[in-house]
């Protein structure tokens, strides 16, 4: 229980404080990443291959930005969103519909994922006491936190009537930007997205569409490749480790290099624009080709 912190509303992220039905308390395991923008990625539990592909594509195209990916740790698109964020070095935040204690965390199959999120400068949050078991009515309530904390909500795919639609409706009520991925008109999993677009949701086909909603210049993306960047052997080791956000202590441990060599490599990589420090984490700022 010592690793679970209790936050009062004064310590909530700014946007979450704004909503009329903000939670009275939040329990946090790990941290709530201190990023500039929060993007909620939501979708169906029984996702399609297309939904998976689009979720991965969009998050890959957001890599390198000062963005936290928010989702609900559920099986399906939520899991893919968290996993992809981790793979590209973006911090991610899981909003849970149960308590955060290991014995009750839902779904149990994603407990290891929740721990990896925490290890990589992310966190899990819940308004329920740590030993509260999941209940069906917790999830619509959980969705309001995902919508309230985020600047943009991106719906990957959903049926006509679903919890994902609840999240999108709440986001609209909270004056958040809502986007949806277009689908084949005959796709059951695309009906909800196509309806949202018809009702005025933003069309999301790629990461740049989300960047525009966030006010990020999509033509000046830090994920663009730089040709013929020369790295020393030590810089290459540090750069490769930073493809997933790590703390300085983790970096030293994983690199197995002396502290002073790590420090020099960090300084030169920062000067070259290859890495950046966000909060307590160090991560790749731009994807590069090395020589």
pLDDT of residue 221: 44
> Average pLDDT over the chain, rounded to whole?
87
**Lookup: tokens for 51:** 């939904």
pLDDT band at 224 (very low <50, low <70, confident <90, very high): very low
pLDDT band at 132 (very low <50, low <70, confident <90, very high): very high
Instruction: Say what angle helices 49-62 and 207-214 make with each other, to 10 degrees.
Output: 50
- Output DSSP code: residue 246: B
Average pLDDT over residues 250-268: 88
Residues 65-86 have pLDDT tens digits of 889 999 999 999 999 999 999 9
In Å, how far from its chain's centre is CA 180?
A: 17
d(CA 245, CA 93): 14
Residues 9-28 have pLDDT tens digits of 888 988 998 899 999 999 99
Backbone angles phi, psi at 252, to 5 degrees: -60, -45
Parallel, antiparallel or unpaired: strands 123-126 and 226-229: unpaired
Question: What is residue 9's three-state secondary structure?
Answer: helix
Judge whether 93 and 13 are in contact, CB under 8 Å: no
d(CA 153, CA 193): 12
Residues 34-61 have pLDDT tens digits of 877 999 999 888 888 999 999 999 999 9
Q: Strands (DSSP E) along 65-156, which ranges? A: 67-71, 92-95, 123-126, 152-155
pLDDT of residue 218: 61
pLDDT of residue 70: 96
Q: 150: which residues sit within 8 A by CB, 6+ positions away?
A: 15, 38, 39, 40, 70, 171, 176
Domains and CATH numbers, the chain: 4-214 (3.40.50.450), 226-290 (1.10.10.10)
Residue 285 vs residue 192, higher pLDDT? 192
Residue 2 vs residue 67, higher pLDDT? 67
pTM for this predicted structure: 0.74
Residues 143-153 have pLDDT tens digits of 999 999 999 99
């Amino acid at each position: 229980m010592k690793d679970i912190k209790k936050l009062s509303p004064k310590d909530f992220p700014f946007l979450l404080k704004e909503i009329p039905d903000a939670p009275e308390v939040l329990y946090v395991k790990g941290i709530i990443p201190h990023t500039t923008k929060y993007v909620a990625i939501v979708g169906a539990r029984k996702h399609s291959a297309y939904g998976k592909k689009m979720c991965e594509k969009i998050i890959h195209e957001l890599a390198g930005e000062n963005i936290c990916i928010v989702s609900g740790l559920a099986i399906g698109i939520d899991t893919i969103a968290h996993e992809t964020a981790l793979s590209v070095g973006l911090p991610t935040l899981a909003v849970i519909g149960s308590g955060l204690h290991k014995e009750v965390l839902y779904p149990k199959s994603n407990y290891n994922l929740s721990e990896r999120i925490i290890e990589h400068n992310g966190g899990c949050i819940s308004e329920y006491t740590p030993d509260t078991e999941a209940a069906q009515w917790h999830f619509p309530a959980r969705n309001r936190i995902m919508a309230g904390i985020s600047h943009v909500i991106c719906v990957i795919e959903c049926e006509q009537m679903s919890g994902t639609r609840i999240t999108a409706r709440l986001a609209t009520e909270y004056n958040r930007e809502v986007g949806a991925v277009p689908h084949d008109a005959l796709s059951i999993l695309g009906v909800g997205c196509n309806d949202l677009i018809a009702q005025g949701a933003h069309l999301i086909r790629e990461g740049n569409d989300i960047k525009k909603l966030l006010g990020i210049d999509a033509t000046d993306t830090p994920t663009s490749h730089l040709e013929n960047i020369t790295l020393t052997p030590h810089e290459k080791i540090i750069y490769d480790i930073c493809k997933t956000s790590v703390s300085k202590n983790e970096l030293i441990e994983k690199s197995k290099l002396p502290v002073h060599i790590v420090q020099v490599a960090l300084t030169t990589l920062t000067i070259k624009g290859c890495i950046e420090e966000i909060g307590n984490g160090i991560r790749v700022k731009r994807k590069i080709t090395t020589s």
